[in-house]
Chain A
Amino acid sequence: MPADRARRPRTLLGKIWDQHLVTAETPATPAVLYVDLHLVHEVTSPQAFTALEARGLRVRRPDRTIATADHSVPTAPGTHSRALPIADPAAALQVERLEANCRRHGVPLYGRGDDRQGIVHVIAPELGATQPGMTVVCGDSHTSTHGALGALGFGIGTSEVGHVLATQCLLQRRPRSMEVQIEGAIGPGVTAKDVILAVVARLGVGGGAGHVFEYRGSAVRAMAVEQRLTLCNMSIEAGARAGLVAPDDVTFQFLAGKPATPRGRAWDDAVARWSRLPSDADAEFDRSVTLSVDDLRPMITFGMTPAMAIPIDRPVPLPAAAATVEERRALAQAVAYMAIEPGKPLLGQPVNVVFLGSCTNSRLSDLRAAAALMGGRRVAPNVRMVVVPGSQQVKRDAEAEGLHEIFLRAGAEWREPGCSMCIAMNGDELAPGQYAVSTSNRNFEGRQGRGGRTFLASPVTAAAAAVAGCLTDPRGYLGATR
């Protein structure tokens, strides 16, 4: 009954899904789903290339594949140049392997020394490679980021990286859809990061499992693309494979003139096609939640999952007050690992490191927001502030408007693009016991270095903490004379 299906109202997810079916799923077999864009980085691809070559296969569509080196590359100033070898031999080998694999298979590589290098989820939107209606995959769970442009982006494992390299397809069952309706207007000092932390806190780390989110509502419409990227980025922290925002004029303006987007007639055709993607008015979602953000305050995490997030001026929950045994145990473990006092707000908690970066919050608008707060102020003497722009492009743009000077004058480090302290693979890491305010997406135990303790927050909250030397409500710094 294909005719029936065509008439049935569909969600954005349903439309993208249907358009990419090479063969439909049956009870016995998953669908064969076509992949428009495959992003590759050095950490999750070497074994996939090895598997491919062991079977004598080639990359089927190098023209639909883009690679970058971001996870294990150094970010110390000046290290972007290929003239400088990577000091860590394992990381050096991994990056060399990526370069060799890309060369052998004709895959475009925005690697070390390239002026478009950067975090994989920052550079693809920046290049205009991610476009509405596409399927985008990467051996990386934060591929959900690309949903901000109306593309179905989701993370895959290395075996599947091999499948896509070889066939440009994946075996997939259709996920369920979940509408995340975000209504209202966020106040000053409150950002998309605070919104997504509130969503994750509400749904829990596994709450979105099996689902693809579609973020809707007035608050989402009011966000610029960079904020939508932050929002979709952390969908995986609620367990969802992907997060989507329907494309609109904001999306089209963002994409216009990007290196990989169509021009002239082809652009008009693309916009017409993209304009048909939003969910039909009467489309049904499998689940739905609504969140009002009118009264949302800056959010901060206090524990070791991103769902352990609270408004910054609210007390850390008491384990004894938890509803279930499991929750009580998780809370008790969290306050013990973090060495914080439950029942009290975190305000005034001293911090050692502030990390401004990662695919969640390392784009130009993030750096601007932090710099606006820091201009004329200094990083507190007890704090090391590390600023890592998301890409060479972001770095250039930021330097063109002098943001780096604001950070440097304040006493912060201005580094080369990469994942850096978000994943702590490249030597940028916390020492055991140190506290960090981080604009990244994961506060898992040891994520930023063994024994490190992470508070996830927005760039604004992070900047305020850097200046204050402790956790503080950033709204106290807004508009104040300095």
Chain B
Amino acid sequence: MNLAITLLVAVSVASIIGTVLQQNQPYSDYLLKFGPFWFEVFKTLGLFQVYSAVWFLIILGFLVLSTSVCIYRNMPRMFREMQDFRLEAQERSLRNHKHNNEWKVAAPIEECMSVSNELLAHHGFRLREKSGDDYQLLSAIKGAGSRWGYLLTHIAIVLICIGGLMDGNVLLKIAESLGEIKVEKRNISANEIPEISRLDSSNLSYRGNVSIPEGGGANVVFLGYKDGYLLQQLPFTIEVEDFRIEHYASGQPKSFESDLVIVDETLKEPIRETISVNHPLIYKGVSIYQASFGDGGSKIDVKAWPLVGGKNEPIQLKGVINQEQKLQSAQGVMNLELNDFRLFNIQPSPEEGRKFHNIGPSIQFKLRSEIGEAKEYLNYMSPVETDGRPYFMSGVRSSPAEPFQYLYLPADSSGSVHRFMAFYNRLKDTKTLYQLALKIASATDGGGVVPEGGQEEIAKMMSMLVGIYVQGGMDAVVGAIESRIPEEKREEVAGIYVKILRHLLGVVYINLLKDEGQSIDQEMSAFDSQFFEDAGAAIGAIERYGSPFYLQLESFEHIQATGLQLTRSPGKNLVYPGCFMLALGVFLMFYMPQRRLWVYFRKRDGGVQVLLSGNAVRNEMDFAKEYQQVHDKLEEVFSPHT
């Protein structure tokens, strides 16, 4: 019994550890968090997988053992007690019970007996009688349920623990320690995985995941194990015909569904069935769940607009999600790793009332330089409304732990990125820019004040300034000022520079509008002038964006992958009956407490002396009430107030 409490406390403590220390994370995360020393200590103690640590399993084993022994020891006694009416009770011992009362009755003993018998039977007691020379004893019991309750709950605990152990990975641990299996840690495809990391389909219990693209199939699942995984062979093949996500009107996901086909040699016809969250399919003792989803290799068409180098034409690309390709850039060959495509992106809505809205498809990818440095990008296909204006948004970050920082490229009136790119290209075209600057400088020579050749100097300076801005943003301009201009003049010069910069950018922009066919005689429209501001800001931010390209998603063929979880858990067959017994047992235990009553009749002085006595091991207050009721009735019968 004390052992039981100790074990329960041990299980609790282990459980607490398991919730405080996040379980089953990659080992590298733990190493980072705890440092090499504590990492080793925790790893040795099995704290990263508490619930399958050897010591935890041993505790559970002990709990099973001790509870079994407890049942084995108590069961005979309990059965005996259920049937034991304590007919050997003596008058003296009955008087020792907490509750007892006496009456003297002037009636035949048999009559006293039968009345009492009727009353107690009416109260639901089971009865036995015993008669001696000058006495009769009526013994009553109620509430054998609590004993059954004890048996049921404790047997249930044994069953549940054994079932749970069966469904855990004890067998895998044993096989691993015998060297029969080895955890695979590399990121390789299923058919490259060596035999020693594979489990055949006779494996008793498992719980693994697999991601299957639409139109694809799988006959294996991956079991996460320690810091790697094992490959589990299935006794059938699952093919996925279609995966669907449905949405609520507000945009939040409403359902995830997969149309599955189960192909198995033993089946005449393949089984076709649609599964969804909360509606798994069970075949051959294996449950197939809708667990997650992802991209199954969507095909995309992308236009890569060069952002660095001179004036350049965009490159047309074809890509497949989860694949990589080389991309020639002004900064050398880049590796483009396409990581994800999303059809819907649900965001909190800026509008009042509607809480979420969909901002359309996006791609997520990494661009890795030749030396292996990578930045991650998230590009939306369509312009996204921000403060009432459309922008092409592209997020960038250097590590997955950071949030994305966004570049906002203003969309033109036809909703494309063309005008921005045309503007940007013109600013990169240093020759034309110089010509333009020269023209401006000559027009503002101030009537010959500027010396001969001075216009060229000014034009050079102007176009150089734009060049600095285009390449390095405002930071670079500030840097240039700081390196060339003495401190006391900087503020003044900066003001002039910004004016010049704006002026030249403005002229380039107006030329662009002219070439687009707009008449510029009138005032520029609010849209166009705001576009100019935004484009200027975006250009200033491109240096920080850090990519030699802006990838514009043009079209796609969406291919999804469904994430399935497959479990085989034969322990269920013990756990479920165990649960039923537990629930039943607990209610029996609390709501059918055992109670005992005795009525003892002794012939005395020509009449009968009646002794009522009772006790209950628990629920004394309830018992006291019931005793009182019985007592009151007997009082009415044996000494009526006339």
Q: Are A and B bound to each other?
A: no
List residues of A whose CB falls within 8 A of some B CB. Answer: none
List residues of B whose CB falls within 8 A of some A CB. Answer: none
